[in-house]
């Protein structure tokens, strides 16, 4: 099933006008309500699943669970039912994109904004927790962000509720390996709110770093790392967040559920404390005076901060780098590179830019800082700049 349903009117009311995405169980469309002329998101179960009792019950349960959750940080149910064996769920349309899209398109998220997104998502999990619901599939694709910056949790297709019977009797793994907790990988029935919070901590890591903490060539390899490997440091890769972020991640992603945050409110309070540290005054540092000289224009850019992102501004997406350069070649990324002062030395670090950062002609590996010396030539895409001590 796919675009063959486009243009069709479901339940005599909802006309499918666009397809937004397809998953294992269903496809999400943009639908126009022919009665009110409002636009909604409409999830339709794949037609070839309608005879599968387990999948059908899971689809119906998603509608039941959404009906029980009323919060600005959870997608809002409008209608559900079936039209000649076409099972559907109608939800309010979110004018925006999912978090995965933002990470893939623009790279790591601004640190404070990233924490705000995760705190909002945790507020949604708090409502689910109080309703006895476990999501079991928290990942960036299921975290929607409106154009006003409001976060909503979506896709409760794998969710379990304490008020509904268990659908499967097996302990088979359900979820996404990059984001699932160790206990969820071993037994889906053992996943509770602490498992969802583990997954949300993985999403936080990916938001700030640009990729999940554990990667591998196979699902088995990724699962093995979740079960056995320590979590890599965020602070070593993002010096614009305090070192307390590592302690938070270590606790939130502890192998044992008992060692983690036990409730969403505990999780939120800890992140709020980190936000307050980040918003407080920076410690005074004696900077070695330096500047960038743009080769093409001769413009001098003083390096007045101890940690700055250089890139191209994008007001539409609220991206405002510390050092903004107008680039007619469009090869300078929105968050292209980082210049920072550390232990008496200026450093440059590529931010996984599409068009690379070069130091004296050598391409820099992403997130691997390199020291700068007076007279070094930097290239951000096609933008050339000379680093000069003053």
Beta carbons within 10 angstroms of residue 212's beta carbon: 19
Q: Report the alpha-carbon distance of residue 53 to residue 71 in Å, rounded.
A: 30
Beta carbons within 10 angstroms of residue 284's beta carbon: 7
Q: If we measure between CA atoms, which residue out of 202, 203, 208, 205 comes closest to residue 107?
A: 208
Tell me 319's DSSP state.
B
Which tokens belong to 181? 């907790």
Output the CA angle 47-48-49, nearest 5 degrees. Answer: 90
User: Could you give the residue ranges of the DSSP H alpha helices within 131-218?
Assistant: 182-186, 193-209
Give the long-range contacts of residues 268-275, CB within 8 A, separation 24 or more.
268/119, 268/122, 268/123, 268/126, 271/115, 271/118, 271/119, 271/122, 272/119, 273/244, 274/115, 274/241, 274/242, 274/244, 274/245, 274/248, 275/112, 275/115, 275/116, 275/119
What is the CB-side half-sphere exposure of residue 224 using CA atoms within 13 A?
A: 6
Instruction: Please pick, among 137, 192, 196, 327, the residue that the annotation labels catalytic.
Output: 137
Q: Which residues pair with 348 in a beta bridge?
A: 339, 370
Q: Report the alpha-carbon distance of residue 314 to residue 316 in Å, rounded.
A: 5
User: Is 307 a catalytic site residue?
Assistant: no
Tell me 93's DSSP state.
P
Query: What is the set of active-site residues?
Result: 137
């Amino acid at each position: 099933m796919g675009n063959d349903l486009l243009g069709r009117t479901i339940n005599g009311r909802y006309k499918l006008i666009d397809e937004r995405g397809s998953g294992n169980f269903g496809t999400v469309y943009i639908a126009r309500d022919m009665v009110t002329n409002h636009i909604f998101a409409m999830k339709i179960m794949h037609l070839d699943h309608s005879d599968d009792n387990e999948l059908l019950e899971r689809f119906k349960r998603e509608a039941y669970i959404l009906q029980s959750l009323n919060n600005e940080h959870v997608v809002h149910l409008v209608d559900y039912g079936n039209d000649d064996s076409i099972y559907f769920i109608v939800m309010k349309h979110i004018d925006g994109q999912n978090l995965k899209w933002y990470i893939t398109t623009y790279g790591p998220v601004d640190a404070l904004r990233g924490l705000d997104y995760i705190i909002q998502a945790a507020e949604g999990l708090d409502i689910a927790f109080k309703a006895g619901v476990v999501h079991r599939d928290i990942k960036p694709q299921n975290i929607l962000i409106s154009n006003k910056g409001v976060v909503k949790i979506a896709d409760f297709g794998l969710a379990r509720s304490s008020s509904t019977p268990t659908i499967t009797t097996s302990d088979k793994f359900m979820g996404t390996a990059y984001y699932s907790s160790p206990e969820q990988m071993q037994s889906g029935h053992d996943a509770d709110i602490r498992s969802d919070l583990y997954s949300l901590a993985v999403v936080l890591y990916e938001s700030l770093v640009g990729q999940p903490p554990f990667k591998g060539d196979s699902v088995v390899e990724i699962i093995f790392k979740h079960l056995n490997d320590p979590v890599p440091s965020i602070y070593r890769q993002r010096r614009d967040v305090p070192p307390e972020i590592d302690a938070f991640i270590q606790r939130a992603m502890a192998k044992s559920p008992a060692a983690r945050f036990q409730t969403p409110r505990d999780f939120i309070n800890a992140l709020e404390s980190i936000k307050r540290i980040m918003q407080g005054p920076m410690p005074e540092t004696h900077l070695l005076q330096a500047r960038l000289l743009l080769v093409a224009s001769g413009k001098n850019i003083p390096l007045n901060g101890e940690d700055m992102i250089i890139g191209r501004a994008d007001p539409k997406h609220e991206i405002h780098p510390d050092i903004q350069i107008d680039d007619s070649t469009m090869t300078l990324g929105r968050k292209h590179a980082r210049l920072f002062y550390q232990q008496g030395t200026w450093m440059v670090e590529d931010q996984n830019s599409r068009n690379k950062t070069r130091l004296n002609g050598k391409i820099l590996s992403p997130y691997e800082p390199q020291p700068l010396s007076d007279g070094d030539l930097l290239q951000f895409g096609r933008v050339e700049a000379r680093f000069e001590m003053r």
